[in-house]
Amino acid sequence: MKRCRNCFIVILLYAVCTAAFTQSDRQIRVEAAVEKTRVFTGESFVYQIQVQGSDKVEAPDVSAFTDFDVTFLGGDSRNTTMISQDLNTGKVIQNIKYGYVCQYRLTPKRAGTLIIPEVMVTVAGKNYMTRAIQITVSEPEEVGDYKFRINLSKNKCYVGEQVKMTFTWYFSQNVRNVEFNISFLSDSRMSFETAVEKKDPNAKYYTIPVGNKQVEAMYGSGSLGGKSYNILTFSEILIPGSIGTINFPKATVSFEGVSGYRKVRDFFMGEVNQPVYSRYVIPSNAAALSVRDVPSAGRPFTYSGLVGRYTVSAAAAPLEVSVGDPVTLTLTLKGPAYLKDADIPDLNKITSLTKDFKIPSEMASGKITGNTKVFTQTIRALHDEVKQIPVIEIPYFNTASGKYEFARTQAIPLKVNPARDKVTIMDLKGEAAPSEMGREVEVWKEGIAHNYEDMDVIINRPLGAAVIAANPALIVVSLLLMLGYVALVVIFKFKLFGLAGGSAVSSKKYHSGLLKVLKSVPDSKQTTEEICGAILEKLRQYLGSKLNLNWQSIVFKDVEGALMEHALDEDLVKKIGLLFKDCESVHYAPGLFKRSDVDELALNAIGTINLVERNFK
């Protein structure tokens, strides 16, 4: 009956506690919140979606936030556990509150009253809506001590031409918590590359976040409108991808700058001026770029879109081949600073090359090294009359002259021998097995290896001392083996159960006992009679344990046959017999042996006994 009562208490307690925290699961609330509701254009703020009552939240869709640039800052569980005790009943109640928060950084794209729309959030399979939030966005204005300027290296350019865009922030007061917002860096009509410029060894550089990347900005001094400022400046290379006039929206820089000073009393320094910081958002000047298309008139049919001024060089290896053998042709294109999108024409379109060479249609994309881009292609001579790799022409549009021009390689002399064997279509297509002249595969050390996706990834592995706790069976097995060994030793040592192996252990003991006695003879103070008596006793014990005989009455006749059976040779058995005889003689007929004779007897006996121990089977 009492057992039943205890069980009832356990069940009741469990029910109470389970109810306590399942209750909290039921009330799901989804809220939206913003860091501030009055901001400037380009000033970012944090927008949160807060879920209470569950942490099983699917990523909300915020694609409707068209008036804002949105950066996802991550989502995080906000589960809390509270334990309380009811003062009346003394019951302890555990309450778990589940929660989840998604954070976004929003940057308004225009001024005015903007609405952050409602967002549908799926929590534990059910849909909930957040409320819409109104944000008042003002246009930022310039302040005397702070200016932000954008300069383009040119106002007119061609599609694909590289234009340097320099951003300079002027400030004459102390500043902190700086953030640049340049919305057009992600404009799909153009691409931006980080400008790599020679560093001024006397200038100071800072790495600052701009958009989704880090740029290195130079800190120095400069002047604007006749006034001296501290400046922070960095550049980007703009490559327009479409024609038309690009009116860049104003970029902004937001920061906390000194707006005044107040007097405060310092314990050590007395009355001092302490700076007062205010939040500023400063707009840049307006900038525009007129982008023209490259002319269609006179455009070579092999034109691959290169704009600027380019040179090209060629190299080939090997320079002596048989018909059909691969020749690696390397074309090195040199031109403006940023060659990421630079491409050379399809070599299959160059007739001077295709009439003598088979060129695969696929070509590896080039590798950029400094201000060069290296393209490699395998070509194969079609006949043995080929004497050279001809001049290869790469067309480009020279913006300086406004015309299409050609970068040309030098012709490369080539010795082509008749085919080593029959050249197949496969060879000419470049699909044959690799030739002996193929290059070794070289390990590419750049980049990282693949992710692990097998189920091992979600299996917990112990670390440190936890390894032992995780493998108790192994510990038990090895300890059992150790105990088993100890048990065997104990059994043999005390000759329990009369096992045959017991003699092995005890004979070892008697062997060492006998040797000990024999070795102690030269230093012994005993009489010859006593010494030989002791040797005889130990010898009997030893042979008795070896042959499983009662040692006390052993004489040589008892052991002679048995020793021969255990593979001891006749001479050795005779020596044992002699040892028996000598010891018995001295023991039973004192005065027969001198002390020196007994010493010699003991010395010889050591060798004999060791031989017995070694050869006994």
Partner 1 sequence: MRKLLPLIAMLLVFLCGFVRADSLSREEINDLFSQGKALFREANGLLEKNPASAKDYYHKAALYFERIVKEGQIRNGKIFYDIANAYFRMGDVGRAILNYKRASQYMPNDLNLLQNFEYARSRRVDKIALKEEAMILRILFFWHYDIPTEIKFYIFILFFALIWICAGILLFFKLPFVKIGLIVCIVFSGVFLSSLTVDFISDSMRNQGVIITGEVIARKGDSDAYSPSFQDPLHAGTEFQLIEKRDAWWNVELMDGIQCWIPSRDAELVKID
- Which positions lie near partner 1, rule CB under 8 A? 2, 6, 9-10, 13-14, 17, 21, 59, 71-72, 74-77, 79, 81, 83, 92, 94, 96, 186, 207, 209, 211-214, 445-454, 456-465, 467-468, 471, 474-475, 477-478, 481-482, 484-485, 488-489, 492, 501, 504-505
Question: How many other CB atoms are found less than 10 A from the CB of residue 262?
Answer: 9
- Do the bridges between strand 311-317 and strand 68-77 make them parallel or antiparallel, or are there none, so unpaired? unpaired
Q: How far is the CB of 25 from partner 1 (least distance, A)?
A: 11
CB of 593 to partner 1, least distance (A): 36
Nearest distance in Å: CB 232, partner 1: 15
Q: Which is nearer to partner 1, 66 or 113 (CB)?
A: 66
Q: Looking up tokens 């060129």, which residue turns up?
A: 359
Token look-up 């350019």 returns 157
Distance of closest approach, residue 410 Cβ to partner 1, in angstroms? 35
d(CA 136, CA 34): 12
SS3 for 70-90 is EEEEEEEECCEEEEEECCCCC
Residue closer to partner 1 by CB (options 77, 348) is 77
Instruction: Give least dist CB 534 to partner 1, A.
Output: 28
Q: Min. distance of Cβ 460 from partner 1 in angstroms?
A: 5
Three-state secondary structure readout of 422-472:
CCCHHHHHCCCCCCCCCCCCCCCCCCCCCCCCCHHHHCCCCCCCHHHHHCH
Shortest distance in whole angstroms from residue 457 CB to partner 1 = 4
Distance CA 540, CA 551 (A): 5
How crowded is residue 350: how many other Cβ atoms within 10 Å of its Cβ? 19
Nearer to partner 1, 204 or 355 (CB): 204
Cβ of residue 2: shortest distance to partner 1, in angstroms? 7
Q: Which amino acid, one-letter code, is at 315?
A: A
Using the minimum distance from each CB to partner 1, give the nearer residue, 192 or 310.
192
Site of tokens 């976040």: 209
Q: How far is the CB of 582 from partner 1 (least distance, A)?
A: 30
Nearest residue (CB) to partner 1, 422 versus 450:
450
Distances (CA, A) of 592 to 582, 585, 589, 605: 10, 7, 6, 18
The CA-based angle 531-524-616, given to 5 degrees, is: 55
Please give the DSSP secondary-structure letter assigned to residue 498.
G
Task: Select 437 or 477, whichever has its Cβ closest to partner 1.
Answer: 477
Which lies closer to partner 1 via its Cβ, residue 433 or residue 458?
A: 458
Report the residue number, 445 or 557, with the smaller CB distance to partner 1.
Answer: 445
Nearer to partner 1, 85 or 223 (CB): 85
Beta bridge partners of 440: none
End-to-end CA distance of the chain: 72
Least CB distance to partner 1 at residue 75 (A): 6
Cβ-based neighbour number of residue 115 at 10 Å: 11
Handedness of CA 330, 335, 339, 341 (dihedral sign): negative
**Cα separation values, 494 from 173, 336, 501, 548, Å:** 95, 94, 11, 15
> Which CB atom, from 425 or from 463, has the smaller least distance to partner 1?
463
